[in-house]
Amino acid sequence: MTAFSSHHIIIVGCGRVGAELAQALWNKQHRVTVMDAHQRSFERLGPAFQGRTVQGDGMDREALKRAGIESAHALAAVTSSDSVNIVVARMAQDIFRLRHVVARVYNPLRAPVYEKLGLQTIASSSWAAQRIEQIILHPGMRSLHAVGNGEVEVYEISVPREWAGRRLRDVLPAEGAAPVALARSGRGLIATPETILEADDLLNISATDVAATQLRRRLHEENGA
């Protein structure tokens, strides 16, 4: 699925996941800067990659500035060290005020601790690059599972503040999407088109690819991304 606009995205760490993520984002015409402490790591990007590479330590503020973090849309910290990834992610979030930050973690038991700090994390897995891309480009909406051959998928949406007080039928596409359930303050509810939404509700819907694209666009606009 193509993105709605070109963003500048910084990837700290050019291992397998970092290189795969960089190539995927570049192929979707985003401006990508890859940072790594070791120059040879950039060989993983291959000759077709035309984005920027910056040799430097991701925990170095000046190196991050050289990578363009002050005007970046998002940052993904995907080095081989949990500690480095968390420090880089917190710097991006707390010092440079980036709204879209993701840190890869190898020990999933640490993920709840990091999430309490307000950091989005992805545990190490074969689909890490795809999942990070989804969070960066489509915050607030993630696919839970596909039905059939993928013609319909079930999605989880974190309801933005701008949707609070609105009926569900007013925010869903007219065709191709149906409410499934809703979680509010830890309680599960059956969602209907007349359900009044509250900020931070977790809404499960089923949607076709066309309807999902419309929903992503609406969330993209609401988030000011």
pLDDT (tens digit, 0 to 9) for every residue of the chain, 225 residues total?
A: 344 457 899 999 999 889 989 998 998 889 999 999 999 999 999 998 999 999 999 999 999 999 999 999 999 999 989 889 999 999 999 999 998 898 888 877 777 777 777 787 776 554 455 556 656 665 567 777 777 656 888 888 888 888 899 999 999 998 999 999 999 887 899 999 999 999 888 899 999 988 988 888 888 776 554
Taking a C-beta distance cutoff of 8 angstroms, is the pair 216, 141 a contact?
yes
Interacting residues of 188 by C-beta distance below 8 A, sequence separation 6+ = 181, 182
165-190 b/e (C-beta count within 10 Å ≥ 16 → b): eeebeebbbeebbebeebebeeeeee
Q: pTM of the prediction?
A: 0.59
pLDDT at 4: 43
